[in-house]
Amino acid sequence: MKRNLLPALLLLLYLCPTAAFSQKQKKTPDPLLAGEEIAVTNTESGKVKGYIHNGIFTYKGIPYAKADRFMAPEKPTPWKDVRSSMAYGPGCPIDATTTVNDAFEFAFNHDLGWNNEHCQVLNVWTRNLNDGKKRPVMVWFHGGGFTAGSSIELPSYDGENLARKGDVVVVTVNHRLNVLGFMDLSAYGDKYKGSGNAGLLDLVASLQWVKQNIANFGGDPDNVTIFGQSGGGGKVTCLMNSPVAKGLFQKAIVESGSYITAFTEKSVSQRVAAATLEELHIPAAKVDSLQKIPYDVLNEASKKAMRKVAADLKKEGVKGANTGWNAVLDGDFLPYQYGDPKAMEIGNNVPLLVGTVKNEFTPFIPAPKNQSMDDVKASLTKKYGDKTDAYMAAVKKAYPNTSTPAGYTDMDLSFRPMAIKQADLKSGVSGAAPVYMYLFTWQSPVNGGIYKAMHCMDIAFQFDNISLCEQMTGGGKAAHALAEKVSSAWINFARTGNPNVTGVLPKWPAYTEKNGATMLFDNQCAMREHPDGDLLKLVAAKP
């Protein structure tokens, strides 16, 4: 009897772990759940159905507005049935991509998606729906200047990991760009009043959608942070200066996007529109016929017009006029020029997080290979003369790990001063909400280190998307460790208006022009005051 029992016991011991494992597997949800009754929630326009991926409710391509060409956005047309919102919607038409740099395209890994002029759509990621939990909302504006890009262009824009990590609601937005979003036809009738800033009015419409609908996605409509990189940062800056956008967001983050130093004067923007009509042989009385001009024809005509107006202004001795696509000082959406004290008052109560990356665009124009230190010094002497040694010492002071010849010439000296100027303006306003400054210096090891801390490098860290962006970041332990710190700071800023994360980062004081407090993001993060102050002063003083 005992002999017969032993094999049975051994068999039971062998089977038990398998049985337990099978039960555990049944309790574990599938990575992706989609179906008729899954991830359904309400919006003002009707119900939408998304899907759940790794526990995150995901919605793509939800219309937040509609608009005819050059017109102000309106609320989208309501729908009766549940709208499937599981695939990305269209981006704005842009110039076709005809060539790429292979090594850099490998790193960026663009997704150009599909285009349509009716591109007012957004995407949402959240942990839960309608649960009464007021999650901070983070609304992302994509880069590409005011001319190109979309909310799906880079893998780093995916909001799933950030939503999961911070229990925040992430929203990313498409809107009108280039000639469709910024051609100022206001001289041709009141219905075109907002055409010069139509793309920015789209962003306001997206924030109004958030205000009215985001509670259904588990978000807090009264705790909204707008953030964007490059052109997206420029758009954040514009909304901070607009009374039309006031109150629709409570915090702002500008990443490598402090390049907006002036809004385009109407005298210039209207001149570009008139030149576009001339290129198309359309008289002013027939301006409405622009509605039927194919996009490609309209786009090419507008680019010729911009070049013509720029050349004419140069002949007339006008300096500093921006004839490219930019926000327009229209007296309504933007009533005051950038930097005007009245403009600064509009965003006075909005905390600002602002910064840049160390190398920005310099990796795209690399120094000659096999360049020696003597070669670098000879090149610098042509630019800085007897201040060359002081320049090299200032570089070493700012970046103590500088050891290669290229290290003395590859840091950004354009975006960084503009970010400092924006921080100085904001922090100099009496009673203004605090400003926090950062400088991302981490160097990518991928492809022999050619990418360094290039433009867009930091986005993957802010969204905690290192694994999605291995071609740019390498996906190593150091990258993941830094992403933990950076994304935590962004989440805490969105939650409280303060990026400090106790035990994760050094103490991060608010920036002032006097203290120059700057958080350096690297394998070893550090808070420094005026970290590159001597270098920037020397460069600014160069004749």
The CATH number of the domain holding residue 135 is 3.40.50.1820
Distance CA 216, CA 124 (A): 11
Annotated catalytic residue, options 195, 230, 427, 444: 230
**Active-site annotation holds for 360:** yes
Q: Is residue 23 part of a domain?
A: no
Which percentage of the chain shows pLDDT scores above 90? 91
Same domain, 63 and 208: yes
Same domain, 290 and 152: no
Q: Domain boundary residue among 329, 353, 382? A: 329
Same domain, 196 and 316: no
CA angle, corner 522, sides to 517 and 525, nearest 5? Answer: 50
Neighbour-count burial of 265, counting CB atoms closer than 10 A to its CB (0-12 exposed, 13-18 middle, 19+ buried): middle
pTM above 0.85, yes or no: yes
Q: In what order do the strands lie in the sheet with 32-33?
A: 32-33, 51-53, 56-63, 121-126, 169-173, 135-141, 219-229, 251-255, 352-357, 435-440, 517-521, 526-529
- The amino acid present at 497, given as its one-letter code, is G
pLDDT tens for each residue of 366-382 = 888 889 999 999 999 99
Same domain, 249 and 276: no
Tokens 């509670």 belong to residue: 215
Q: Is residue 377 part of a domain?
A: yes
**In this structure, are strands 517-521 and 526-529 parallel, antiparallel, or unpaired?**
antiparallel
Confidence (pLDDT) at 367: 84
pLDDT tens for each residue of 28-84 = 568 999 999 999 999 999 999 999 999 999 999 999 999 999 999 999 999 999 999
**Active-site annotation holds for 444:** no
**Active-site annotation holds for 484:** no
Q: Is residue 181 part of a domain?
A: yes
Q: Is the predicted pLDDT of residue 3 greater than 90, yes or no?
A: no
Q: Is residue 185 part of a domain?
A: yes
Distance CA 178, CA 306 (A): 12
Q: Is residue 304 part of a domain?
A: yes
Distance CA 28, CA 21 (A): 11
Same domain, 104 and 212: yes
**In terms of Cα–Cα distance, which of 254, 255, 253, 235 is closest to 245?**
235
Annotated catalytic residue, options 195, 269, 444, 455: 455
Annotated catalytic residue, options 360, 427, 444, 487: 360
Same domain, 161 and 191: yes
Same domain, 519 and 486: yes
**In terms of Cα–Cα distance, which of 300, 270, 291, 293 is closest to 68?**
291
Distance CA 388, CA 381 (A): 6
Distance CA 482, CA 519 (A): 13
Distance CA 245, CA 186 (A): 20
Same domain, 324 and 211: no
Q: Which domain holds residue 316?
A: 264-329
Confidence (pLDDT) at 542: 73
Cβ(148)–Cβ(178) below 8 Å:
yes
Q: Is the predicted pLDDT of residue 16 greater than 90, yes or no?
A: no
Same domain, 94 and 119: yes
**In terms of Cα–Cα distance, which of 258, 426, 283, 264 is closest to 345?**
426
Same domain, 403 and 281: no
Tokens 């190593």 belong to residue: 476
Cβ(448)–Cβ(283) below 8 Å:
no
Q: Is residue 351 part of a domain?
A: no
Distance CA 310, CA 430 (A): 38
Better-scored residue on pLDDT, 17 or 514: 514
Confidence (pLDDT) at 543: 66
Structural domain total, the chain: 3
Q: What is the DSSP letter of 152?
A: T
Same domain, 525 and 377: yes
Cβ(117)–Cβ(73) below 8 Å:
no
Same domain, 98 and 212: yes
pLDDT averaged over the chain? Answer: 94
pLDDT tens for each residue of 76-97 = 999 999 999 999 999 999 999 9
Q: Is the predicted pLDDT of residue 4 greater than 50, yes or no?
A: no
